[in-house]
Amino acid sequence: MEGLAIRASRPSIFCSLPGLGGGNQQRPPSDGFLKFPASSADNSTKLVVNSGSFHPISAVNVSTRASLTADIPALSGTNVKEERINGEKKKADNIVWHESSICRCDRQELLQQKGCVIWITGLSGSGKSTVACALSKALFERGKLTYTLDGDNVRHGLNRDLTFKADDRTENIRRIGEVAKLFADVGVICIASLISPYRRDRDECRSLLPEGDFVEVFMDVPLSVCESRDPKGLYKLARAGKIKGFTGIDDPYEAPLNCEVVLKHTGDDVSSSPHQMAENIISYLQNKGYLEG
């Protein structure tokens, strides 16, 4: 083999660099390979390029890689927006925020409401999803646009790569917080319904939004009541040791200290009904002006 070969699976690739097999605008040879000078590679080196991606250039030996990236800047790691240092992702410093010509106040005027995030937190079985659905329906009937980010639903798609370990739970909350912030910026009333057991993670989501736009709702329901409901059978599995790190059993739940709304379980069918709890949240939103244009 002559030097270093790059296979071009798309015949439309042109070679215009000196020493790569021809002069300006020459097509690769019929065998589909671009030839590099023998002086830049040993006889065992080949960098293969398919129609979608490069094999990592780190697979090429050091002397060849130095020569290759010097001659072909497009293959240099300095041109990518994200690089890894010691295995960790480093945020690129060459990205700039692009301002929109339509601001949040314009969208809110159009919708005749103010965007915010209603963050419903509590133990599994406390009724978070049920209240979220009741709240969404009640607001819809009032002509208000909402969207619900349910913890289980989000793990079917956006967060399907995450486990229930502490670090992944933090990332789960971070992602949902960022998505909720986008909804609020659009002018939508975003209802996030998930256990979110750690105060630090909830506070991080609060910090993403302007003062007052994060409405934390605590489902204050005793563990014994949640466990007696056990709608998904998860407490039974956790007690049997078949689920590890289950909130309330062998992983802590940190109740809010200064939340905006507390929905306390009283045992009364009326005051503890999903409809009444939703109305309590709506009263808060009305008092704060979120249901006005």
The CATH number of residue 173's host domain is: 3.40.50.300
pLDDT computed for residue 103 by the predictor: 86
Q: Note down pLDDT in tens along the chain; length 293 residues.
A: 444 444 444 443 334 444 444 444 444 445 544 444 554 444 444 444 444 444 444 444 545 444 444 444 444 444 444 454 455 666 677 888 888 888 888 888 889 899 999 999 999 999 999 999 999 999 999 999 999 999 999 999 999 999 988 899 999 999 999 999 999 999 999 999 999 999 999 999 999 999 999 999 999 999 999 999 999 999 999 999 999 999 999 999 999 999 999 999 988 877 789 999 999 999 999 999 999 86
For 246, the domain range is: 104-288
* Cα dihedral value 187, 171, 229, 138, nearest 10: 0
Catalytic residue of the set 101, 196, 271, 272: 196
> Measuring CA to CA, which residue among 172, 170, 138 is closest to residue 154?
172
Stated pTM of the model: 0.68
- 196 annotated active-site: yes
pLDDT computed for residue 190 by the predictor: 98
In a domain, 125, yes or no: yes
| Tokens 């998930």, residue located | 194
In a domain, 118, yes or no: yes
* Torsion 244-237-177-274 (CA) sign: negative
Total count of domains within the chain: 1
In a domain, 151, yes or no: yes
- Kindly give the residue spans of alpha helices, DSSP state H, lying in the chain: 62-71, 104-111, 128-141, 151-154, 166-186, 199-207, 223-229, 234-239, 274-287
In a domain, 49, yes or no: no
pLDDT computed for residue 148 by the predictor: 98
pLDDT computed for residue 41 by the predictor: 44
